[in-house]
Chains A and B, each alone.
Chain A
Amino acid sequence: MNKTYQILPPKGLVRIDLGELWRFRELFFVFVWRDFKVRYKQTALGILWAIFQPFVTMLIFSIFFGKLAQLPSDDIPYPIFVYSGLLFWNYFVSALSNASNSLVDNENIVKKIYFPRLILPISTLVTPIIDFVCAFVVLLGIMLYYHYTPSVLGIALIPILLLFSLLSASGLGVLFASVNVKFRDIRFILPFFIQLLLFLTPVIYPISLIPQPYQWILYINPMSSVITVARSFLIGGASVQPSLIMLSVAVTAIFVFVGIIYFRSTERLITDAL
């Protein structure tokens, strides 16, 4: 903790105090560590659940969307196709909902102890990475089963794609975390909103299903880029247009910027509303 500082009333827009975030890095890691511990203590199945859930979803989607509805899948076997989408989608959903509930869930700490509030929602984005890694190993297994060899470039891209998913979840997550304090029903609205978003993301269908001139609309959702790029490079799906990727990057940057600015401007009075 720093030695001298001033406490002043909040004024206007606040800049992000990176120095302060750095000083509190240990607490950040402690929050991450706590969430890991708790996540794998509370559920009896522990890590197994992280594998079981996307796998079963994949089976059901393969039966209904792949076999019965005969959805196209860019000439990749449908199970690989949908599982690779779910992999990133599930990470995004967990990260977003964890971050959105982070302040309210940790109300007792936030009310009693000072620390830069931003580290709470951001630390919760890290926990679901473990689930992601477990589920990713299963993806490799499924690919092996269908005699697909994952490309080295594809695997090398995974951390970058994951980081991009984390960033896109962080913008909205940080924003919702702050709004959630004031409007407690965000907690109930969010799952519905996320469910709708699943259908606006090429998880269960390929983006080529959408007529070319309208495809850009899907790319406003950054997760569309993540999933399409992952499929393209890892498995060899349809190629992607760089300009549309840039659109997703721009949208993410805006979300992160707006989210953090809003969060910072409400941060210091958050306890008065909790």
Chain B
Amino acid sequence: MSFAIKAEGISKVYKIGAFNAGGTLRDSINDLMTFKWKKSPVENFWALKDIDFELKKGDALGIIGRNGAGKSTLLKILSRTTAPTSGCIDINGSIASLLEVGTGFHPELSGRENIFLNGAILGMSRKEIKKKFDAIVDFSEIEKFLDTPVKRYSSGMYVRLAFAVAAHLEPEILIVDEVLAVGDLNFQKKCLGKMSDVGKEGRTVIFVSHNMSAVKALCNRAIYLENGRKEFEGDVLTAVSKYQGRTDEKQVVKIYDSLGPSTKSAQIRKIEIGDASNEEKTEFSTEKPLEIKITFLVEKENAKIGTTVFLNNSDGEMLFASLSNHEEKWHGKNRPIGTYINTCEIPPNLLSDGDYSISVGLWEGFYEQGFIENNVINFSVHEEGFIRGDVPYDSRSGLIKPLLKWQSIKVK
């Protein structure tokens, strides 16, 4: 048997409206008393529909898809925290799932005690934990606080300890949710390193992530889910490009009606991106400045309003976030009622070729209240090649491509 996981026709239905999760007995009795015993209409929601896949030993499978595509449900079924409605999965090998780091950590217990507790919950035997104890402590860099209750840990220490235990799991099949986005930068690197070691040891890995670079780096195969169905299964690069190919329709203007998101005193009306040409287009040159204009209405006197622009690349990585807190005219000042436009300029020769999306935040007061409109603007940029001259085609262009100053002098 060389397969690790064989899944056939996995489906999962959630009944919407029928099951009062977290409801109270009182509600149910109330319903009975008031003759509501005819069940409210039940709607079936297929979180997953007929998913098949087979995973060989040593494969690293990425599961990608938008929010709500069924990734988490599939993960839950594979890790057996919920049962499928139909279908069958054969699992060949010991399995452990990391849907979260630090599952079961108890704040009152010391770091040492939590290593044993968490290790056991993740499926390690006491003997195994004892054997790896020193390695875990080393990895977590917290030996000085080993006997301190974890409620006194900083969040960084907490996460490091949690990840250290998780990183020393040695199942034949490892299921990982997006748990990598934790800890400080150095620690993240260490974790990513540990993750790719896992693949090299010939262990089977299932990895769910929104971060396409991580998926590309860690996985050799991928499944792309959309609306609970498997849209593609195969090599990871094709899957990622399919996922990115569907990228939400290019959109360079978004207009809001009076029901759009708002804070106490301000409401967003329009977000748009454009260059100096003033024509509406979705593809821009990297060599010309781009302007992001955020139009909003101040409906109450004396509101302090600011805006943020987040730029994400097609791998879902945020390249930067820029706040209007260094804008001179209105930042930190009371704005009278009226319509305002905040403009953010992206300088020329900064971005590399590719697709981007912009999220926009609007906040009030001292960042007290606000909202973020995720990925409202989608556009792409291309290099025209006039400024940099004869650029050879090179896939390693980097996340950004700033035009830096070069000098060349003859010294001898």
Residues of A within 8 A of B (CB): 1-10, 26-27, 30, 34, 37-38, 41-42, 106, 108-115, 182-186, 189, 268-269, 271-274
Instruction: Please tell me if the beta carbons of A41 and B83 are within 8 angstroms of each other in the complex.
Output: no
Add 4 more A-B contacts to A7-B80, A109-B103 (CB < 8 A): A113-B79, A183-B25, A185-B24, A272-B82
Residues in B with CB closer than 8 Å to A183 are: 23-25, 28
Q: Is B387 an interface residue (CB 8 A)?
A: no
In the complex the two chains form, what is the Cα distance from A222 to B81 in whole Å?
Answer: 35
Instruction: Please judge, given known A-B contacts A26-B126, A41-B108, A113-B104, whether A7 and B120 are in contact too, CB under 8 Å.
Output: no
Instruction: Please tell me if the beta carbons of B23 and A271 are within 8 angstroms of each other in the complex.
Output: no
Instruction: Please tell me if the beta carbons of B123 and A1 are within 8 angstroms of each other in the complex.
Output: yes
Taking CB atoms and an 8 Å cut-off, the chain B residues in 89-118 that contact chain A are 89-97, 99-100, 103-104, 106, 108-109, 113, 116-117
Taking CB atoms and an 8 Å cut-off, the chain B residues in 1-46 that contact chain A are 1, 14, 19-26, 28
Instruction: Please tell me if the beta carbons of A10 and B81 are within 8 angstroms of each other in the complex.
Output: no
Instruction: Please judge, given known A-B contacts A8-B88, A9-B84, A272-B21, whether A108 and B103 are in contact too, CB under 8 Å.
Output: yes
Residues in B with CB closer than 8 Å to A34 are: 106, 109, 113, 117
> B96: shortest Cβ distance to chain A, in Å?
8
Residues in B with CB closer than 8 Å to A189 are: 25
Residues in A with CB closer than 8 Å to B108 are: 37-38, 41-42
Instruction: Please tell me if the beta carbons of B26 and A185 are within 8 angstroms of each other in the complex.
Output: yes
Residues in B with CB closer than 8 Å to A1 are: 94-96, 123, 171
In the complex the two chains form, what is the Cα distance from A227 to B68 in whole Å?
Answer: 55
Q: Is B85 an interface residue (CB 8 A)?
A: yes
Report which of A30, A37, A182 forms a contact with B121, defined as CB distance below 8 A.
A30
Instruction: Please judge, given known A-B contacts A5-B91, A109-B121, whether A114 and B81 are in contact too, CB under 8 Å.
Output: yes
Report which of B22, B81, B88 forms a contact with A113, defined as CB distance below 8 A.
B81
In the complex the two chains form, what is the Cα distance from A202 to B380 in whole Å?
Answer: 80
Report which of A10, A112, A113 forms a contact with B83, defined as CB distance below 8 A.
A10
Residues in B with CB closer than 8 Å to A273 are: 19, 21-22
Q: Is B162 an interface residue (CB 8 A)?
A: no
Q: Is B77 an interface residue (CB 8 A)?
A: yes
Instruction: Please tell me if the beta carbons of B92 and A109 are within 8 angstroms of each other in the complex.
Output: no
Instruction: Please tell me if the beta carbons of A113 and B24 are within 8 angstroms of each other in the complex.
Output: no
**8 shortest A-B CB distances, which residue pairs?**
A114-B80, A183-B25, A268-B83, A30-B120, A7-B89, A185-B24, A109-B104, A112-B99
> B225: shortest Cβ distance to chain A, in Å?
18
Residues in B with CB closer than 8 Å to A268 are: 82-83
Residues in B with CB closer than 8 Å to A3 are: 92-94
Q: Is B76 an interface residue (CB 8 A)?
A: yes
Most A Cβ at <10 Å: residue of B91, B96, B120: B120
> B395: shortest Cβ distance to chain A, in Å?
38
> B76: shortest Cβ distance to chain A, in Å?
7
Residues in B with CB closer than 8 Å to A30 are: 116-117, 120-121, 126
Instruction: Please tell me if the beta carbons of A112 and B103 are within 8 angstroms of each other in the complex.
Output: yes
Instruction: Please tell me if the beta carbons of A186 and B25 are within 8 angstroms of each other in the complex.
Output: yes
- The count of chain B contact residues (Cβ–Cβ below 8 Å) is 51
> B99: shortest Cβ distance to chain A, in Å?
5
Q: How many A-B residue pairs have CB under 8 A?
A: 121
Instruction: Please tell me if the beta carbons of B86 and A26 are within 8 angstroms of each other in the complex.
Output: no
Residues in B with CB closer than 8 Å to A114 are: 79-81, 97
> A269: shortest Cβ distance to chain B, in Å?
6
Instruction: Please tell me if the beta carbons of A6 and B81 are within 8 angstroms of each other in the complex.
Output: no
Interchain residue pairs with CB less than 8 A apart (19): A4-B1, A7-B88, A9-B84, A26-B125, A26-B126, A34-B109, A34-B113, A37-B109, A109-B121, A112-B97, A112-B99, A112-B103, A113-B79, A113-B104, A114-B80, A114-B81, A273-B19, A273-B22, A274-B21
> B95: shortest Cβ distance to chain A, in Å?
7
In the complex the two chains form, what is the Cα distance from A108 to B81 in whole Å?
Answer: 11
Instruction: Please tell me if the beta carbons of A41 and B109 are within 8 angstroms of each other in the complex.
Output: yes
Instruction: Please tell me if the beta carbons of A7 and B83 are within 8 angstroms of each other in the complex.
Output: yes
In the complex the two chains form, what is the Cα distance from A274 to B26 in whole Å?
Answer: 18
Residues in A with CB closer than 8 Å to B104 are: 106, 108-109, 113
Q: Is B87 an interface residue (CB 8 A)?
A: yes
> A8: shortest Cβ distance to chain B, in Å?
6
Q: Is B122 an interface residue (CB 8 A)?
A: yes
Taking CB atoms and an 8 Å cut-off, the chain B residues in 325-372 that contact chain A are none
Residues in A with CB closer than 8 Å to B76 are: 271
Report which of A6, A37, A115, A182 forms a contact with B88, defined as CB distance below 8 A.
A6
> B114: shortest Cβ distance to chain A, in Å?
9
Instruction: Please judge, given known A-B contacts A112-B103, A185-B26, A272-B14, whether A9 and B93 are in contact too, CB under 8 Å.
Output: no
Report which of A38, A41, A110, A182 forms a contact with B21, defined as CB distance below 8 A.
A182
Instruction: Please judge, given known A-B contacts A37-B113, A183-B23, A185-B26, whether A26 and B120 are in contact too, CB under 8 Å.
Output: yes
Nearest A residue to B93, CB-CB: A3
Instruction: Please tell me if the beta carbons of A7 and B84 are within 8 angstroms of each other in the complex.
Output: yes
Most B Cβ at <10 Å: residue of A7, A38, A183: A7
Residues in B with CB closer than 8 Å to A5 are: 90-91
Instruction: Please tell me if the beta carbons of A111 and B81 are within 8 angstroms of each other in the complex.
Output: yes
In the complex the two chains form, what is the Cα distance from A106 to B26 in whole Å?
Answer: 24
Residues in A with CB closer than 8 Å to B125 are: 26
Residues in B with CB closer than 8 Å to A272 are: 14, 19, 21, 82
> B210: shortest Cβ distance to chain A, in Å?
19
> A245: shortest Cβ distance to chain B, in Å?
34
Residues in B with CB closer than 8 Å to A182 are: 20-21, 23
Instruction: Please tell me if the beta carbons of B106 and A38 are within 8 angstroms of each other in the complex.
Output: yes
A-contact bits for B168-210, CB 8 A (1 contact / 0 none): 0001000000000000000000000000000000000000000
In the complex the two chains form, what is the Cα distance from A106 to B81 in whole Å?
Answer: 13
> B55: shortest Cβ distance to chain A, in Å?
14
Nearest B residue to A34, CB-CB: B117
Instruction: Please tell me if the beta carbons of B120 and A27 are within 8 angstroms of each other in the complex.
Output: yes
In the complex the two chains form, what is the Cα distance from A34 to B115 in whole Å?
Answer: 12
In the complex the two chains form, what is the Cα distance from A6 to B22 in whole Å?
Answer: 30
Nearest A residue to B87, CB-CB: A9
> A5: shortest Cβ distance to chain B, in Å?
6
Instruction: Please tell me if the beta carbons of A4 and B83 are within 8 angstroms of each other in the complex.
Output: no
In the complex the two chains form, what is the Cα distance from A111 to B83 in whole Å?
Answer: 12
> A126: shortest Cβ distance to chain B, in Å?
16
